[in-house]
Homo-oligomer: A and B are copies of this chain.
């Protein structure tokens, strides 16, 4: 299965939760600190409890880079542990000139074996092309992000009347000749989501911002249901992996993801 197929394999079964493995050594249950590699131990238990129910996993590089060289090993071990049947997104928000972007693409896709990456569009086409060359992978380009700062540039109005993020969506549609592009669109931006959802042309959408940031899982599902699309995944990190700080944190995560799946099942069936 290529990356897009992995995603659709899950969303066709009304599973839309992308599990954000933002494992922070300061926030994981303290009982794990007795292990040699507490973060990996944490990830394993979360994965064991969610792998049948998740639409995808998203691993934000920041949480691993902050651990130094060891963090990089944990990242790699975590990808290997998840295995090949579910989409794994490297949330790296990369963007650099061509020869450098090429190095990043090789690191994330070949060395670390991710199915997918998040890419920052600011530097334009040649910074994105090296990722697009990997035709079996999936490149989620930042369009409108979930944070407050989205106001500062993404929502600036251009001379032609469109907002910058809308111009990005238009451009990503052009980059998508090999069907290996997707969009990042904040779940907190519900009005904008409804207004722009048709312009996505069924490209897969990764929506962060549910939970700690205030976006609604239900509202996002309904927005996609209204255009008969199930080409989206909703990322939940803190609201899922830190449900409990006790030994039962894995079961607590499982319970939570099952609630979300029940909700989307109801909306889409």
Q: State the A residues within 8 Å of B (CB).
A: 22, 24, 60, 62-63, 65-66, 68-73, 76, 93-98, 100-101, 103-104, 106-107, 111-112, 120-128, 142, 145-154, 156-159, 161, 164, 167-168, 171, 208, 213
Contacts and interface: CB of A to CB of B under 8 A. Distances in A.
A247 B168 CA distance: 47
A119 to B, nearest CB: 11
B164 A106 contact: no
A167 B101 CA distance: 25
A251 to B, nearest CB: 25
A107 B72 contact: no
A106 B159 CA distance: 38
* Residue from the set A70, A72, A154 with the largest chain B CB neighbour count within 10 Å: A72
26 contacts: A24-B103, A60-B96, A62-B94, A62-B96, A62-B101, A63-B100, A63-B103, A66-B107, A66-B111, A68-B112, A69-B73, A93-B94, A93-B95, A97-B208, A120-B123, A121-B122, A121-B152, A123-B149, A123-B153, A123-B154, A124-B148, A124-B149, A124-B153, A125-B148, A153-B171, A156-B167
B100 A22 contact: yes
Contact of A70 (B66, B69, B101): B69
B60 A68 contact: no
A142 B100 CA distance: 15
Contact of A150 (B69, B123, B147, B153): B123
Nearest to A102: B62
Given A148-B126, A150-B124, A68 B76 contact: yes
A68 B72 contact: yes
A157 B156 contact: no
B66 A69 contact: no
Contacts of A157: 158-159
B149 A127 contact: yes
A200 B109 CA distance: 38
A66 B106 contact: yes
Contacts of A154: 122-124
B106 A120 contact: no
Contact of A167 (B123, B150, B153): B153
A207 to B, nearest CB: 13
A150 B171 CA distance: 13
A122 B168 CA distance: 11
A124 B147 contact: yes
A138 B213 CA distance: 29
